[in-house]
Amino acid sequence: MKITQKSFGKTGRGEEATLYTVTNGNGMKVSFTNYGANIVSIIVPDAKGNMADVTMGFDNLAGYEENPPGFGSFIGRHANRIGDAKFELNGKVYELEKNDGKNNLHGGFVGYNKFIYETEFYEDEDIASIEFSRLSPHMEQGFPGNLDVTVTYSLTEANELVIEYLAVSDRDTIVNLTNHAYFNLAGHNAGSILEHKVWIKANQFTPTTTDLIPTGELKDVTGTPMDFRTLKSIGKDIDANYEPLTMAGGYDHNYVLDINGTEVEKVAELVDDKSGRKMEVFTDLPGLQMYTANMLSPVKNSKSGATYNKRDAVCFETQFFPNSCNIASFPSCMLKAGKEFDSVTIYKFSNK
């Protein structure tokens, strides 16, 4: 295990950013920056031992300061959408930024991926970790409570990228943290992911209104294009004449995971037959948003000069259900004052 660091440049505010790279004994390399606690690259071998970066991103800090798609981003205080950009907690209504039509998306205009984080790192024989932390002050983005938040990225010798989220607030608040990495197992610049195959451990998903806010219903995936309980290609049903797909322009839906929530369990798998790469997803959270980059208009000047287009990647965002703060029947993302939020997500890479 090895951790290296180098300058990643200065932000527009004059803050120094650093790029950290963790390498394991298999040659897998993952890079992060303390600007936004963002994942910058994930380099893994294919079935023949050829290495490739399998997540979209930028070569420089300026890209991450803009970053409209949120490549590799640490998302908070609340991932995904909140209907009408408001919620009620303890009898008080909190108004949030309307940065997605009339709704709030990923916290607001300035997300957790736009701040410099304090950094610590730890090296052991078969695991190395980088810990990013900051204080999100009371009413930042409109959310109550001073929130001490930490995201720790660990790389193991089993080619696992382990993400642990920790948060403590001095007031009751809501917390829904995730990472918005865009994956393409053929390589970040390899084009369409429609031939990638997906498995998701979910019998239900949460249907939405036209602006992608859940209705509160849990719908059975049986007999629908939403069913990924058997490994199938993303492209098989993505353009089916099925209202949830036509509304979202593809897959952009929260799956109700079939897990007990008390331990970290395998919930999804992504397979690229051509390269032989496989990625397994593990979590203890109740939901998983699969997003097939439907709204990715050409993003130029990306890594190695690449241009990224619609459906060139897929995201697996572990989460509480969207708008759960306004739907009492959904698992709650409310965090009581002084209680610790602790959740783990793992992306494990291997070959078929």
Whether residue 317 lies in the annotated active site: yes
Q: Which of 180, 188, 196, 253 is catalytic?
A: 180
Whether residue 196 lies in the annotated active site: no
Cβ atoms 24, 123 nearer than 8 A: no
Q: Which of 140, 160, 269, 317 is catalytic?
A: 317
Region for 25 from its dihedrals, namely left if φ exceeds 0, alpha if ψ lies in -120 to 50, beta otherwise: alpha
Assigned token pair, 163: 């993400």
Interatomic CA distance for residues 86 and 47, integer angstroms: 48
Helices (H), the chain: 61-66, 243-248
Neighbours of 298 (CB within 10 A): 10
C-alpha pair distances (Å), 246 with each of 210, 218, 236, 252, 316: 10, 19, 14, 10, 20
Interatomic CA distance for residues 16 and 35, integer angstroms: 9
| Geometric angle at alpha carbon 65, from 59 and 66, rounded to 5° | 95
Cβ atoms 114, 126 nearer than 8 A: no
**Which residue numbers are catalytic?**
180, 317
